[in-house]
Structure 1
């Protein structure tokens, strides 16, 4: 990738049931466009006695995007949504002023061995949308724009790219693009990208500026318009980014906001359990201790 500004290595984080690889936020690059949080989840093998069980927890000021490579997750939220996400599908949940959801292994998989692998992503909402009503959107694999150019396969997961638009309802200019190559290919994507751009390598390798980059690395470009790189055979990458938001963001736990007032209000509301509950759920994730620094830019 030409004009590489930063290389971010995955950092291990424990989310309870298993370890994930944290990509964003990073100390030297808190956001890429409106993307404020990215975890590479797995691949993890769970036995018949192990399951993903993330009890109800709240969000404000963001949209969450779940995209799986393997496995399945049952999503339930305070809107009454109950939907299973499978590989190639998209769960897009917009928190706005507040939503609560749980994520669990589906019932039919809870007593068998299984694998879970995917991406968990947060996209910060623009300031004039951070108090919007919450919503949920599920896209099946066939709903997403997909096309081939020679030995390269493209899938637009969210946003807009090259005149194509994914169906998920985004609220600022952005893109999340999956690219797979079966042979060595050199790509020149800069003319279709905008804002800030990041390139995440899931498998295979990418060469740029005389250097080869491996899986679990995130490359951040200095200028998205100069995005050029070579993919090795059998490589899968994700290009994401978009127009940066003009204001700084605060992040505390699952809350993202432009000011402390929104964060403090959400904290007190969750302590009092005043968020709308998830139907059929009884437990919840308690509010964690206060971090020393909330500022995310």
Structure 2
């Protein structure tokens, strides 16, 4: 049985410097999908200049941030002393835990001739017990992302978060969660079974696609019901298409989100701000250039 669609919507447009952003989650219908409470899509754009000093240092607490870059280069640095650069196809994961300050440089990929930028940032809400853990960071380069070629030369599936068949991401799971990047060639299809009580959504970044026999437009965010069932993706176009499919088990603890903090109570939000202004998150200290 195919899963039913709960709703579909398009994001709100915003600008961060030269970058055009579509905020897909939260939206007017949903504040979360499984543990995912935030999704920004950086639409394809040419970036001619190099950012050196970060895009704006800011704190986080209670979540893990995930940056997945399709095209471009992301430099990460934070107050726990983590620094890393990922390039096209890689991901940066940062557990904010008890509190951290971080910043990023988002530039074109210096190892290619393309100056296009395209990518995503997710926030993954942590269970209450994990919000009190120390911050952590993992950089996953493109070649380290688990990838599976689909049958009948249909395309491929990458596991950014979670598991798929024999594939497992390096990014930790604190609950049942998944984030797949699927690419389907013209005329091909793929079906994925979703368990009962698992929340799931799809995002179509640049092309239309058929999801369970209904055509959705590029730029649409589509959420499905929680009954067990199949999500069938068909590519009826003449070109290759990309789909993000993500979700997980319902986050059942209370959720209080304010600014860059996602906690379980309003008192915890107040404490997050108090600790930040008291300087308890530390400061970013960049390593001296070699």
Interval containing the TM-score (normalised by the shorter chain): 0.7 to 0.9
The reply on whether 1:132 has 2:133 as its aligned counterpart is: yes
Matches of 1:163 and 1:50, distance apart in 2: 39
Q: How many residues align?
A: 279
In structure 2, distance between residues paired with 1:224 and 1:157: 22
The equivalent residue for 2:80 is 79
Gapped runs of 5+ residues in structure 2? none
Contact kept in structure 1, 2:185 and 2:235, CA below 8 Å: no
Residue number among 223, 229, 238 corresponding to 1:225 in the alignment: 229
If the length of structure 1 is used for normalisation, what is the TM-score? 0.86
Say whether 1:161 aligns with 2:173: no
Mapping 1:19-58, distance limit 5 Å: 19-48=20-49, 53-58=54-59
The equivalent residue for 1:11 is: 12
Residue 207 of structure 1: CA displacement? 1.5
Q: How does 1:82-231 map to 2 (within 5 A)?
A: 82-105=83-106, 114-149=115-150, 150=152, 151-191=154-194, 195-208=198-211, 210-222=213-225, 223=227, 225-231=229-235
**Structure 1 CA distance for aligned equivalents of residues 65 and 248 of structure 2:** 16
Shift of residue 210, structure 1, vs aligned partner = 4.8
Once the two structures are TM-superposed, the CA of residue 142 in structure 1 deviates from its matched residue by: 2.0
How far apart are residue 257 of structure 1 and its match? Answer: 0.4
In 2, Cα distance between equivalents of 1:250 and 1:107: 35
Unaligned runs of 5+ in 1: 282-297
Instruction: Give the direction of change, closer, same or farther, for the CA distance of 1:79–1:212 in structure 2 (3 Å limit).
Output: same
The question of whether the paired residues in 2 share the 8 Å contact of 1:46 and 1:113 is answered with no
Distance 1:179 1:243 in 2: 21
Q: Deviations over 1:219-238 (max 9, x none)?
A: 11113523223223411001
Q: How large is the Cα RMSD of the aligned pairs? A: 2.5
Normalized against structure 2, the TM-score is what? 0.88
Q: Which residue in 1 is equivalent to 2:253? A: 247
Secondary structure at 2:57's aligned position in 1?
strand
Q: 1:208 to 1:114 in 2, by over 3 A?
A: closer
1:266 is aligned, of 252, 265, 272, to 272
* Alpha-carbon spacing, 1:50–1:156, altered in 2? closer, same or farther (3 Å): closer
Distance 1:191 1:258, change over 3 A: closer
CA, structure 1 residues 201+193, in 2 after alignment: closer, same or farther (shift >3 Å)? farther
Residue 191 of structure 1 deviates from its aligned partner by 5.0
Instruction: Report deviation, 1:21.
Output: 0.2
Return the alpha-carbon distance in structure 2 between the equivalents of residues 224 and 272 of structure 1: 47
CA distance in 2, matches of 1:82, 1:106: 16
Q: Is the 8 A contact 2:47 2:116 kept in 1?
A: yes
Q: d(CA) in 2 for partners of 1:61 and 1:160?
A: 23
- C-alpha contact 1:71 1:116 (8 A) present in aligned 2: yes
